[in-house]
Amino acid sequence: MTKTTTSFSHLFQTDIGIPKLLLWLLAFVLILISGCSIGDKIDKLTDKVSDVAGDTVATLDSAIDALDRNSASWQSVLQDTTTKLTDEAQSTVRNEVSDLLNRSVAATGNELRCNIDFIGSRVRQALARIRARLLHQAIPPVEPALCHVVPAAVDMALDVSRRNKLEFFGYDFDTTTIKVTLHNKSGAMDVSSKLDRLTHYHMTLNLGANGVPVSSASDRLTLEWENRPISSIAVIQPATPVCREKTETYARDTYLSFTPPHTRGDKEFSGNGPEVWANARWSNEGTHVNFRLWMKAQETRSDWTTAEGERTDTYYTAPPGWRIDSIVNSAESTAHYVDTDHNDDRQGGGPNGPVKEFKFRGDRSGDDAGSYTGVDVTFNPLVVKLVEVANCAPASAIKSLQIKDLIAPSTIKRLQPMMLKLKP
């Protein structure tokens, strides 16, 4: 047999659950029972590890693709992914996916209020991090996400016993530091020590006697992650007004062009499709709206040549003194078809989502994936509801307090005229 030199350090670079000692023992046994060289046996063993890693990545890719097409199906996608990871060498990843499923199901309880698409998006991000770890790629930071605050504001006119804590419901609270600041007329105070993480999706902030010293001088409480605000909770004082609101329409006349990278096969579709999928989404980040575009083009036979990728751009930024309360129109556009010629293919995104029209470049003579295959998108107008950022109480928070009976009758009476002025 031909002698092969193999790096022992490369042999042990695996994140898929095979103990290093087991690899040593297997290699040693193979050497004892065969006359072949040490290098040959180690090569065969590492080939097996490589095959398992490749199968694992392919399974994760399939799950990520499924979520790109339908984020609401996250539960069935995770169950299916766990079932496919059957090899003992995949046990670590299988456990991670199973934990992710349990974690996500727990975060959909009655108190959470995070919608299904939101959970699907977080699941996709988690799978992408598992894949990046397997491939020894840079792993993006885990950003906590807030879905719901109870109560939505703190009414100082209430008895102190009825305003002794805040509850936060969301996702990934346990993965990073969250800073809490109390804003008073005289300045700001770090009160993060009063925040208690009960689970990854549930936190409480103590406002009682030994908690955050909320007083008649307090304006608001804010939560921050990496110096970026993720929530603001008004402290309603006798003179606190209702925040102003307005709707703004933003229209972009330019188009965006995207050519996803080549990920599989020989770069040439050769008339075999490709089958094409695309998903475009606006996401509300509070101070701005991001636009995320994902596209995949895959050959329909042969070596399954594929181009796949995504890009995210800041699409809209709120004016100073305002935050984005919500996106009024539909936040998602999708497309799916099979290319049958060398011409550009136009697919309507619809009148309400981010994309007015997708114009795809699929197959041509010569190399396609990574250099030619891609999409141009033209946009529909974005409609957002803006809320003033000041020492004021948002109307949505006041309505929430009324429903939960966490606002004093005197406060309702005072704010009612201002609330009526906000009605269209």
Residue 109's pLDDT is 65
Between CA 306 and CA 323, with CA 279 as vertex, the angle to 5 degrees is 140
Residue 154's pLDDT is 96
DSSP one-letter code for 108: T
- What is each CA distance from 171 to 68, 191, 194, 397, in whole angstroms? 19, 21, 19, 21
CA distance 278 to 181: 41
Pairing of β 332-338 and β 218-225: unpaired
The candidate with the shortest Cα–Cα distance to 42, out of 90, 8, 18, 14, is 8
Between CA 327 and CA 337, with CA 333 as vertex, the angle to 5 degrees is 180
Task: Give me the amino acid identity at 390.
Answer: A
**Strand, helix or coil for residue 125:** helix
Count CB-CB contacts under 10 A for residue 50: 11
Quickly list H helices, 35-90: 38-69, 74-84
CA distance 235 to 149: 13
pTM higher than the cut 0.75: no
- Domains present along the chain, CATH in parentheses: 1-140 (no CATH), 145-242+391-422 (2.60.40), 247-385 (no CATH)
Between CA 184 and CA 193, with CA 188 as vertex, the angle to 5 degrees is 110
**Strand, helix or coil for residue 6:** coil
CA distance 361 to 372: 7
Pairing of β 382-388 and β 245-250: antiparallel
Q: Which residues of the chain have pLDDT under 50?
A: 1-24, 28-33, 35-36, 38-50
The enclosing H or E element of 131 equals: helix 116-134
Scan for tokens 């193999």, then name that residue: 6
